Amino acid sequence: MLSQKVTLATPLDPALQALLRFQDPYSDDARALVSFLTAGGFGFTLGGLAAYYDHLKSRYESGAIKAATFNKRVAGAKKRVRQLIATGNASLTAADRFRLEEALSTFKTAKTRGLAVEASRLPTDEELGQLVSQTKDRLVRVLVPFLAETGARISEALAIRQTDVVKARGFYRITIRGKGNKEREIFAAPWLLERVRQMFNGETFLFEHQERPYSRIACTDRIKHESRAILARELSAHTWRHYFATRLLKEGKSLKAVSRFLGHSSTQTTADIYQHDSLAWEDLQDVSRERLYEKR
């Protein structure tokens, strides 16, 4: 039975073993939790979980870890314990599960300066099509689809050299140099690359103007100008990176996979920006609900 007291753990008690059983993006967080509980002799106890949270909070407040790391560790621990509760672990009574949920609700994450993107402000597929089909700006007509279909930052896209693009089986593999000059690979469909090369035909850069890459600021200004004129609202170049990430997460793609593709240093960064803890009308709209209240 779960207790508040510190209990000496056996080499690894069944509950701790269960925390490590799952394989998902939270596996490293689960290992960090189990390592702390084992090293401190807590076992799987409320006191141990509270001590782990206090330990993380202390490290965050002292500057030893960043808010993103603190939030990821807290979210990962809560996720794993809730998975244990949901699987009906035999060692947990109904009272244990209630106390665990009560304790987990007090483990708060740190605020991350409003990183979240409001889904309601993102462009729709229809707006994307409208912008691309109606703009007379040849750069916007090709650059916006590239950003929307690859999730690349505007600076990353404009820095792509022809030598960074390699044709694979049925797609193109592109080497991107992101923040901190870290390299990663993204993919692009043949039709997308063909549109770019037909329009620009650069010798050195994929997007090339008079043998030089385009200016990031100038490109962003042109995208903003065209979106104001055609869609009656201003959309920046970075908006299309948000559009790409949100679309993939809505389609059920792995948070970890999307995070890596975007070049984020942590899955928590991706979660903070793109996972929403509020409901929109689209989430609640269901025409079949009305039939429940019809006379029979």
How confident is the prediction for the chain on average, in pLDDT?
82
One-letter amino acid of 131: L
Residue 276 has pLDDT above 60, yes or no: no
Name residues whose C-beta falls within 8 Å of residue 174's C-beta, 6 or more positions apart in sequence: 150, 160, 164, 165, 166, 185, 186, 187, 188
In this structure, are 123 and 264 located in the same domain? Answer: yes
Residue 166 has pLDDT above 60, yes or no: yes
In this structure, are 28 and 174 located in the same domain? Answer: no
Beta pairing class for 183-188 and 212-213: unpaired
Overall average pLDDT of the 208-214 stretch: 88
In this structure, are 99 and 137 located in the same domain? Answer: no
In this structure, are 93 and 199 located in the same domain? Answer: no
Which of 78, 97, 241, 242 is catalytic? The answer is: 241
Instruction: Quickly count: other Cβ atoms within 10 Å of residue 61's Cβ.
Output: 11
Give me the numbers of helices (H) and strands (E) for the chain, helices first please: 14, 5
Overall average pLDDT of the 141-152 stretch: 93
Residue 165 has pLDDT above 90, yes or no: yes
In this structure, are 43 and 184 located in the same domain? Answer: no
Beta pairing class for 208-209 and 183-188: unpaired
Which of 141, 238, 247, 256 is catalytic? The answer is: 238
Q: Which of these three, 104, 139, 165, is where a domain ends?
A: 104
CATH code at 125?
A: 1.10.443.10
pLDDT for res 149: 92
Overall average pLDDT of the 221-246 stretch: 92
Which of 153, 214, 222, 242 is catalytic? The answer is: 153
Name residues whose C-beta falls within 8 Å of residue 173's C-beta, 6 or more positions apart in sequence: 165, 166, 167, 185, 186, 187
Task: Assess if residue 73 is contained within a domain.
Answer: yes
pLDDT for res 144: 95
In this structure, are 85 and 144 located in the same domain? Answer: no
Terminal CA-CA length for the chain: 50
- Is residue 264 annotated as part of the catalytic site, yes or no? yes
Task: Assess if residue 112 is contained within a domain.
Answer: no
Residue 91 has pLDDT above 80, yes or no: no
In this structure, are 147 and 25 located in the same domain? Answer: no
pLDDT for res 177: 85
Cβ 87 vs Cβ 69: under 8 Å: no
pLDDT tens track for 15-64: 788 888 877 667 888 889 999 999 998 888 889 999 999 999 999 888 88
In this structure, are 142 and 60 located in the same domain? Answer: no
Residue 171 has pLDDT above 80, yes or no: yes
pLDDT for res 99: 87
Task: Assess if residue 255 is contained within a domain.
Answer: yes
Cβ 196 vs Cβ 243: under 8 Å: no
Task: Assess if residue 82 is contained within a domain.
Answer: yes
Pick the range with the lowest mean pLDDT from 52-66, 103-117, 187-201: 103-117
Boundaries of domain holding 47: 14-104
Residue 1 has pLDDT above 50, yes or no: no
Overall average pLDDT of the 97-112 stretch: 84
How far is C-alpha 82 from the geometric centre of its chain's CA atoms? 21
- Is residue 179 annotated as part of the catalytic site, yes or no? yes
* Beta bridge pairs of residue 213: 208
pLDDT for res 6: 35
In this structure, are 79 and 203 located in the same domain? Answer: no
Work out how many domains the chain is built from and give that number: 2
Task: Assess if residue 226 is contained within a domain.
Answer: yes
Overall average pLDDT of the 148-172 stretch: 92
In this structure, are 137 and 242 located in the same domain? Answer: yes
In this structure, are 206 and 132 located in the same domain? Answer: yes
Overall average pLDDT of the 72-78 stretch: 89
In this structure, are 125 and 100 located in the same domain? Answer: no
Which of 111, 121, 138, 179 is catalytic? The answer is: 179
- Is residue 197 annotated as part of the catalytic site, yes or no? no
- Is residue 241 annotated as part of the catalytic site, yes or no? yes
Find, among 166, 207, 205, 209, the residue nearest to 188 by Cα: 166
Q: Which of these three, 104, 131, 155, is where a domain ends?
A: 104
